Amino acid sequence: MQANIVTLPGDGIGVEVVAEGVKVLQAVATKFGHTFTFENHLIGGCAIDATGEPLPASTLEACKRADAVLLGAVGGPKWDDPAAKVRPEQGLLGLRKGLALYANLRPVQIFPQLRDASPLRPERLEGVDLVVVRELTGGLYFGPRKEATPGDMTAYDTMLYADFEVERIARKAFELARLRRKKVTSVDKANVLAASRLWRRVITAIAADYPDVMLEHMLVDAAAMHLMRRPADFDVIVTENMFGDILTDEASMLSGSMGMLASASLGEGRNGVYEPIHGSAPDIAGKGIANPLATILSVALLLRYSLGLETEAAAVEKAVADVVAAGYRTKDIYTEGAKLVNTQEMGDAVIATLG
């Protein structure tokens, strides 16, 4: 197979972890006889510095032409003014909108050897294997808004959803559940929000097309509690944009570190954006201690969903599992007696295990 992959390292540790992801993709290409070409482009704070825009037109056009996009992280103290008119995170929102990527998949899987890295008691992690399907292009982040001004100190953001937006994300969730344990938990705030009542009504209607999949509705505050209390009960969680953003960061604590969780942002076509769920971590940028495993696991999702290479994706995931089982640890997941390695050494260990 020949594939063109756009890399968007972005800011902070994004540069370091994407480099390891590219190394793994190159190793996969060599092992399985593929040809992957890479184009590097700007996004986020570094793009603002270079062009004045968080998502230059050239970056978006390159992503549209690509077979897949591997993204690092954006942001940092230099661009940390939330009142600024141009901000790094606008690059992410623009990329998702520009590529029509409405579904964000975030798997949460527990590596047995990392149970001690989680703040939860080990018995609560038994059997945890869930996926959050987050709607990505609607809701509060994209609805009508008003900024406060000196003359009018009121502001608002609007959670706006249309039925078709809920329907398409619901179908993604139900189709995924059919390949797993056949259970969907829809998370909303239907006791308060009109948008959530629409969400619940549409989800319920779509469920009729999937009689083999169990549907349960759960309010977002209850979901947040049960993610910590009984996480193994969840299979596929589907929810709107902001709720998904918050719940997946919470769920990262099940695995012990954000450095372990991958994500895939998908639309109707095969192109997608693949990225670790963590941020740019400016406090550790340039120190060589960032955990690249979330990015490498995102590479596995890229191989699976955009390139259709299931065998290769499974090989990468097995290599990560084997490396963790062998005791390799970056600082964020280190426990006494493990093999402490830096970012590059962790990537090298995965590649050596991949063979």
Spot the catalytic one: 249, 322, 331, 334. Answer: 249
Active site residue 163: no
Active site residue 189: yes
**308 membership: H or E segment, kind and range:** none
Active site residue 141: yes
> What is 71-131 written as a DSSP string?
EEE---GGG--TT-SS-THHHHHHHHHHTT--EEEEEEE--GGGGGGSSS-GGGGTT-EEE
The SS3 call for residue 327 is coil
Active site residue 348: no
Pairing of strands 262-266, 103-109: antiparallel
Give the Cα-Cα-Cα angle 272, 274, 280 (nearest 5 degrees). 140
Q: Is 262 left (phi over 0), alpha (psi -120 to 50) or beta?
A: beta
Place of tokens 């963590």: 278
Spot the catalytic one: 189, 210, 235, 305. Answer: 189
Determine phi and psi for 307, rounding to 5 degrees: -100, -10
Residues 6+ away with beta carbon under 8 Å from 132: 104, 105, 106, 108, 237, 238, 239, 244, 247, 248, 251
Give the Cα-Cα-Cα angle 136, 60, 48 (nearest 5 degrees). 95
For residues 269 and 55, what is the distance between their CA atoms, to the nearest angstrom?
21
Spot the catalytic one: 102, 141, 305, 328. Answer: 141
Helix axes 293-305, 310-325, angle to 10 degrees: 160
For residues 43 and 87, what is the distance between their CA atoms, to the nearest angstrom?
11
Residue 198 tokens read as 């629409």
Spot the catalytic one: 245, 305, 328, 348. Answer: 245
For residues 216 and 199, what is the distance between their CA atoms, to the nearest angstrom?
13
CA distances from 308 to 66, 69, 271 (A): 15, 14, 11
Spot the catalytic one: 80, 221, 318, 339. Answer: 221
Active site residue 245: yes
- List residues with catalytic annotation: 141, 189, 221, 245, 249
